[in-house]
Amino acid sequence: MANYDTSEFRKGLKVQIDGDPYLMLECNFVKPGKGNALYKCKLRNLLRNTVIDRVYRGGDSLEAADVTEIEAQFLYRQGENFVFMDNESFEQYELTKDQVGDAWKYVKEGMACSMTLFNGQPINVSPPAHVVLKIDYCEPAVRGDTATNLTKPVKLETGAEVTCPAFIDIGDMIRVDTRTGEYIERVRE
């Protein structure tokens, strides 16, 4: 496995610490009056999603993580598991609800997603930044409530709930930001 020297440390670098893959979120170079240069790094564990702070001296090195990003298509949900297929090799991966995280709220069958593999095994999946989903259920709008910015909770075809403007009805298609879970706009087809 390749190693990264401190001179190669930068934001976005994927390294391995104690057998776990980490993503370098920040790396700040500090040169004290005397002594070696220091590199203050903020790292996020890709398996547990926890953030740690570490300080490295000039000349230290970290092992490169065997992490790859692939395009995968969501095929179907089987109980509590989600089945995805690699678009190039057609290999299928089964992820648990914990591995998928909040992404389950925004994926529907046939949707292309980005999947992260560590040592050939899937560790997480990310849906596109914006998705178009159908409204399955919402309370009807009250006539005359147009003067203020009224919102109401709606249930999407995936089972997720988001807050939308009062004019949205059952069967409407809306665009949702998957990073924040917020309504963006109504989509006309």
Name, in order, each residue with C-beta under 8 angstroms of 79's C-beta and a sequence gap of 6 or more.
Answer: none
Phi, psi of 66 (to 5 degrees): -85, 70
Q: Is the pLDDT of residue 93 over 70?
A: yes
- CA 82 to CA 115: how far, in whole Å? 12
Q: pLDDT by residue (tens digit) across 22-78?
A: 989 999 998 888 888 899 999 999 888 889 999 998 889 999 998 888 999 999 988
Residues 6+ apart with CB under 8 A from 111: 73, 74, 127, 128, 131
pTM score above 0.85: no
- Whether the Cβ atoms of residue 3 and residue 16 lie closer than 8 Å to each other: no
Q: Which pLDDT score is estimated for 152?
A: 85
Q: What is the pLDDT of residue 54?
A: 92
Query: Running DSSP on this structure, what letter comes out for residue 28?
Result: E
Mind listing the domains of the chain with CATH numbers? 3-64 (2.30.30.30), 67-126 (2.40.50.140), 130-187 (2.40.50.140)
Contacts for 69 with CB less than 8 Å, ≥ 6 apart: 114, 115, 116, 117
